[in-house]
Copies of this chain bind each other. A is one copy, B any other.
């Protein structure tokens, strides 16, 4: 198998997570093509050099354009703030690279469509960093649904709630600015729960939404306060294309919630429940079991679930956040190697974006709106 050469743009929180994953994947998945950490770019050249040494990249640069056109790079991994995704991804695709872009795909639908178009034209593989989808327990959930074990789907109730901006004393940041972050909680967190909804219950067709900026102003370094430009929380009721109903919330001010990415999926013959704060557990109810013995079974992740065995041959030993990113990378490498679409690629992530976009439009118009309409 040919070695796959990785170029990573961005040395922040997500860059760290991606770098760890690309570093680790080879030892964990020896059947995948070998990976070479070719180049790391960061706006700050010294930061890039330091990060390259830390993670073991062969080269570094302060100019991301050099990276995306470098012949020694096969995959461009984009771990920059949201407003940079579009330009970088399109450039990389036009240079014929496979692209691994952190979520959310883009600032708005215009950008997202541009990216999906570029991906289609390039014909290379793309993936967007919805790493929670690669959890063995989520894959198990999808298999259970696909096998019809919970019957016809009736309802999806889900949320992604954290409290990282709950404290009103927290300073204004790029996350509060439309120009750099796009939407607020809906884009940052809501897109994750939308990715679950889409993967488990299919596309969302229409919705009615509401948003709120709970902390309207935040302190600025150096004194004074600045208006927060996007929503702290959002929620919507929805209809899936299948006719199933949904209720979805996102919040970055949900005091007490640290990683509250949770759902309950109801079918006519069973139900599935999940909470990312216990990501190694899936709770499954099957109505067919004998009366008096029925109940939600708590299934613990183990080597029989897709992806887990790479980390540990024994069940119940738990995988973690960084392992999910490694599973995402393994899935992407496999897609590249086999010439199959990765999941979620830009086209699929565009669907998620369209839901967030519809939610924002609905919140503004205070009407039901069609997704993509």
- Chain A residues proximal to chain B, CB less than 8 Å: 13, 17, 19-20, 23-24, 26-28, 30, 54-56, 140, 150-151, 154-155, 157, 159, 161-164, 166-168, 208-210, 212, 214, 233, 235-237, 239, 243, 245, 247, 249, 251, 253-260, 266-271, 276-280, 284-285, 287, 289, 291-300, 302, 304-305, 311-323, 366-368
Contacts and interface: CB of A to CB of B under 8 A. Distances in A.
Contact of A279 (B27, B214, B318): B318
Contact of A255 (B235, B277, B285): B285
A268 B368 CA distance: 29
B233 A210 contact: no
How many monomers of this chain does the complex have?
Answer: 4
Contacts of A270: 255-256
Nearest to A151: B255
A255 B283 CA distance: 13
Given A255-B271, A292-B305, A313-B13, A247 B245 contact: no
Given A251-B266, A318-B320, A319-B321, 6 more contacts: A23-B27, A140-B292, A155-B254, A210-B237, A279-B318, A366-B367
A194 to B, nearest CB: 15
A24 B311 CA distance: 13
A182 to B, nearest CB: 20
20 contacts: A26-B54, A151-B255, A167-B287, A208-B237, A208-B366, A208-B368, A212-B245, A236-B237, A237-B247, A255-B267, A255-B269, A256-B287, A256-B296, A277-B300, A289-B297, A297-B298, A311-B321, A319-B320, A320-B322, A320-B323
